[in-house]
Amino acid sequence: MAEKKVTGNIRLKSWIQFAVTVGAVILIASASVLLRMRLDLTEDRRYTLSEPTRKILDGLKNDIYIQVYLDGEMPIPVRRLKRSVQEMLEEFRVESGRRIDYEFINPADAANAQQREAQYSELVNKGLSPINVMENDEEGGSSKKMIFPGMIVNYNGAEIPLDFLKKNEAASTEQNILHSVEGLEYEMIQTIATITSDTIYRVAFLEGQSEIPEIEVADITRSLAKYFTIDRGSINGRQGILDRYAAIIVAGPESEFSESDKLVIDQYIMNGGKVLWIFEEVAVNSDSLANNGETVGLYYPLNIEDQLFRYGVRVNPEIVQDLDCMIIPLKVLTGPEDTQIVPAQWFYYPRLDPKSDHPVTRNLNKVKGMFVNTIDTVGLDPAIKKTVLLATSESSRTLSPPLRIRLKEAELIPDKKDFGKSCLPVALLLEGVFPSAFRNRMTGSLVTGQGLTLKKESTITKMIVVADGDIIRNDVQRLGSSSGFFPLSKDRYTGQLLGNRDFLVNCINYLVDDNGLMQLRSREVKLRLLDKQRVKASKAVWQLINVAGPVILVILAGLIFGFFRRMKYTRS
């Protein structure tokens, strides 16, 4: 009887231990669901959200639904991008208290080809840009497939499209994927911050000085309209008219500024206003060049030189030629009466390099310039920080007006010795405290308001100066009474991807940024790739380890367990 009682106690004790173990497992699992404990063990902290991102996500009031059109059969690099997007969305979902929900959709999943094309057209109309990728099969063949590396962010009935794949032609596929991963947090949180914001900032294009017509800045206007309310209008000397705008854009003026308008802009800057200056000091008639084959470049000041000089910058009246330039279609004679269109280098259209690792220019494609001028910094004011954003290549030169420009120059073979200037600044960022251009000047005749006090020094603010009035100009296609425009992001003749649109959007976002989101564009994720030669050389060894290793571990574990079991029961 005593032996049965002991056996029963042992069984009861075993069941109690089993119940306690199961209960502990359930308790730990439940606690892990309730507790948000996430560890980022990567060296570059790629899974750690920034403080501005956390602040925006924690402040979400309503649910956000995100449709990601990156699903189905895809090449391995694109799958890695998809995994990164999914991981970032999951971090966003957890940080937002599950106010963000998302779904991955295969846009090619359709009953027939007609329905698939309809889905593609709908996504393009919504603002997503497709790309074609090549897939290799096992028999050595290849096929082309269209994918949409983007998402649609839905919030309270509003939709914003977002393309997150970088398309830098100068970079490899792996580098483009890496740059896309680096920019994921910024691109996604910027879109979420825009669509959920209670305050929509206003940005104005100035008019009144023969600036670029609205249709010729339609592409950048449409791009900026995703983030801001865009207006256009003249100053007409009215003090305070710009105060409600977070930033203003001076886009390619051709006539002189009046002193009263300059004073309005100056006081706008003194009160913390931001300005994107886009202009040039040498006037070139491109229509005359296209129609007659030649034109002239003339110095044409705009009466803002003294104002910008006080702010610490000077646009030089000289035109840049660069060996790293765009290709244009050129009509050449191939016979007495025959002509042929051939591609030719046009040194007056340089491909500008995004300089430094600044958030405005990081991971940008090269930017197309047209009859570009150069910029010099002036003064040594320590209160103003100056950063070069765009510059020419290492093989460039400058020409001073007046000068004659002929299309036949594209037929000439350049002498590299003549292109000895390097990295000439074309776009400059200025940040800090600026002195008023009207300090110590009589302004009584320029001030219309009573009791208006002029400020002589600005609060901390910033401005960007670009010495190319055409950098913002998109080509226009006119068919009868209707007009369309070509995108700034692609050259209409060569199909080359350009950074003009991204650069200008980044400029305005950086100027207006008041929550530090633009700093996320400086994030760097290291590219860690396997050494293909070492992988190929040691392929058989690693295959043997992967196949035989688990089996050997199981056998060793069994032998060790049997050994200790035999030791235990032998002693007893």
Bridge partner residues of 504 (DSSP): none
Supply the pTM of this predicted model: 0.78
Say if residues 250 and 459 touch (Cβ distance below 8 Å): no
Quick one: pLDDT at residue 525?
53
Rounded CA-CA distance 197/94 in Å is 20
Quick one: pLDDT at residue 566?
77
Quick one: pLDDT at residue 20?
80
How far is C-alpha 356 from the chain's CA centre?
15
DSSP string, 289-326: HHHHSEEEEEE---S-HHHHHHHTEEEES-EEEESSEE
How far is C-alpha 101 from the chain's CA centre?
24
Say if residues 393 and 350 touch (Cβ distance below 8 Å): yes
| Residuewise pLDDT in 10s, the chain (572 residues) | 555 555 556 666 667 777 788 788 787 766 665 555 555 545 555 567 788 888 888 888 889 999 998 888 777 778 888 888 898 899 889 888 889 999 998 888 877 888 888 888 888 888 888 887 766 555 555 666 788 888 999 988 888 888 888 777 666 777 777 777 777 888 888 888 888 887 789 999 999 999 999 999 999 999 998 889 999 999 988 888 999 999 999 999 999 999 999 999 999 999 999 999 999 999 998 888 888 888 999 999 999 999 999 999 999 999 999 999 999 888 776 666 677 788 889 999 999 999 867 888 888 889 999 999 999 999 888 999 999 999 999 999 999 999 999 988 888 888 888 898 999 999 999 999 999 998 888 777 777 655 577 899 999 999 999 999 999 999 888 877 778 888 888 888 888 889 999 999 999 999 998 666 766 665 555 555 566 677 677 777 878 888 888 888 888 888 887 777 777 767 65
Max CA-CA distance within the chain? 124
Quick one: pLDDT at residue 244?
93
Residue 364: strand, helix, or coil: coil
Q: How many CB atoms lie within 10 A of CB 60?
A: 17
CATH architecture classification, 202-513: 3-Layer(aba) Sandwich (3.40)
DSSP string, 44-84: T-TTPPPHHHHHHHHT--S-EEEEE---SS--HHHHHHHHH
| Extents of the domains making up the chain | 51-196, 202-513
Quick one: how many helices (H) and strands (E) in the chain? Answer: 12, 25
Say if residues 302 and 469 touch (Cβ distance below 8 Å): no
Residue 495 falls in which region: left (phi positive, over 0), alpha (psi -120 to 50) or beta: left
Q: How far is CA 150 from CA 120, 184, 360, 390, 469, in A?
A: 13, 11, 21, 28, 32
| CB burial of residue 488 (10 Å; 0-12, 13-18, 19+) | buried
| Straight-line distance from the first to the last Cα atom of the chain, in angstroms, rounded to the nearest whole number | 22
Residue 469: strand, helix, or coil: coil
Same fold, 51-196 and 202-513: no
What's the chain's Rg over C-alpha atoms? 31
402 prior amide bond cis, ω within 30: yes
DSSP string, 517-560: GGGGGG---------HHHHHHTHHHHHHHHHHHHHHHHHHHHHH
Rounded CA-CA distance 166/179 in Å is 7
Quick one: pLDDT at residue 459?
94
| Fold observed for domain 51-196 | Glutaredoxin (3.40.30)
Quick one: pLDDT at residue 349?
94
Closest among 225, 209, 220 to 471, alpha carbons compared: 220
